[in-house]
A = this chain, B = another copy of it.
Amino acid sequence: MELQTAKGVRDIPPEEKALKNQVVNTLTSVFELYGFQPLETPILERYETLAAKFAAGEESDALRETLKLKDQGNRDLGLRFDLTVPLARFMAMNPMLKMPFKRYEIGQVFRDGPIKLGRYREFWQCDADIVGSPSLLADAECLAVIDAAFKKLDLPVIIKVNNRKLLNGILGQAGIEQKQEAIIALDKLDKIGSEGVSKEMEQRGYTKTQIAKVLSMVKSKVTLTQLKKNLTSEEGRQGIAELEELFRYCRSMNITSVQFDASLARGLAYYTGTVFEAYLTKGELKSSLAAGGRWDAMIGKFLGGNRDVPAVGFSFGLEPIMEALKLKNNVKIKPAVVVYVLPIGTEKESLQLVQELRQNNIPASMALGKKGVSKNLEYASALGIPYVAILGEDELKKKKVLLRDMRSGTEQLLAVKSILRKIKP
């Protein structure tokens, strides 16, 4: 038997996992600073629950990509494909929850889809949502979290912001009833330009007049003020009013990275108001690093009634964020081990030394085998350990340790106290 991973999944080896943990810890600390509480939902869901999201005919791709299984009681189960359905189910099962409910969840989701570069069948999502508040203050909170997180990650971003009501208004004013496909085409304005969008809309069956009307209003750099002059649709004007209110909150919160973008649509069907996406301000990475919006309809549908349960939220893209950090070339991953203790006939004292280092909060390991000095130095070097503390009979007599700096290759005979001072955690 050849041992290998299942198709479309992969191991995260130590160095990459260390970076991932750093990103996850940073995002977690920002979520908690902004008053979001952690929630953990199971990976296994009843298949019926997962399918409920698509009852309305939305996104049947994701359901086709759901990994199905049965337990021994022949119950139909599935692996969750996002963290939104479990949240909706959790809300339904806990009607006494105090609203607004601000939660974040970070964990694996599964999609049995085509495998592309950087796309896996098992990957992490990193979501924050505010359920139960229709106020645009909640939308502003989401933008504030994104702004703070990327400042903490030292990744300069702009957050493009738009509103579905504005888009609907523009399309309605152009006489377009079937808005979904037009929204998907418009979303590509930045990538394929006006001509590209025009061509795609034609293919999707919109008339030249409709297309011309839409593109006369939605230009890549159009401002809210310009749009306001041309827009008569009531829904569109409500979208503008919401955007103005939202940007006012952003100014009060000193969120400087937001920027209106009339073409931003976001592919998903269930957004009902604000939508936003964060991109690096420069560099080659084109993927969005975070994205979300207001989705006031879905939880209500899940609850079975027709009432709206307002919700606004977003996901951080863990993979593109890690990619962006790696491209910066100056990611500092703390070395897993700072000091490697190498006993030469001094096991007892070396064990004491390694424990003393740890008690002083210095990550330390000790040579565990009978290998010689040079093999052990090779090992320390391969693991990127910055210091090796060599403790032989000679050093022991002098009550000192020979500390080797692995980067410079220099060695110093030092007392343990001096080592602790030198290597502050």
Contacts and interface: CB of A to CB of B under 8 A. Distances in A.
A56 interface: no
Interface stretch (A324-332, A358-366, A393-401): A358-366
B140 A9 contact: no
A365 B52 contact: no
A267 interface: no
A11 B337 contact: no
A63 to B, nearest CB: 13
B93 A3 contact: yes
Interface string A10-50: 11111001101100000010001111111111111110110
A224 interface: no
Majority SS of interface residues in chain A? Answer: mixed
A379 B98 contact: yes
A39 B336 CA distance: 12
A66 B165 CA distance: 48
Contact of A6 (B45, B351, B358): B45
A33 B98 contact: no
A272 interface: no
Interface in A300-326: 302, 304
Given A40-B20, A44-B9, A249-B347, A1 B52 contact: yes
Interface in A127-177: 130, 133-135, 137-138, 140-141, 144, 148
A368 interface: yes
Contacts of A94: 13
Nearest to A88: B3
B38 A18 contact: yes
A382 B88 CA distance: 21
A151 to B, nearest CB: 10
A180 B259 CA distance: 68
Given A67-B69, A98-B379, A100-B369, A352 B42 contact: no
Contact of A103 (B14, B72, B89): B14
A42 B122 contact: yes
A294 interface: no
Contact of A348 (B10, B34, B37, B252): B252
Interface of A: 1, 3-14, 17-18, 20-21, 28, 32-46, 48-49, 52, 67-69, 71-73, 75, 77, 79, 86, 88-90, 92-94, 98, 100, 102-103, 108, 110, 112, 121-122, 130, 133-135, 137-138, 140-141, 144, 148, 248-249, 252-254, 302, 304, 336-337, 347-349, 351-352, 354-355, 358, 361-366, 368-370, 379, 382-383
13 contacts: A5-B45, A6-B44, A11-B41, A12-B40, A33-B362, A34-B363, A43-B122, A69-B69, A108-B108, A133-B369, A252-B348, A253-B351, A253-B355
Q: Which 3 A-B pairs have the closest CB atoms?
A: A35-B365, A14-B37, A12-B40
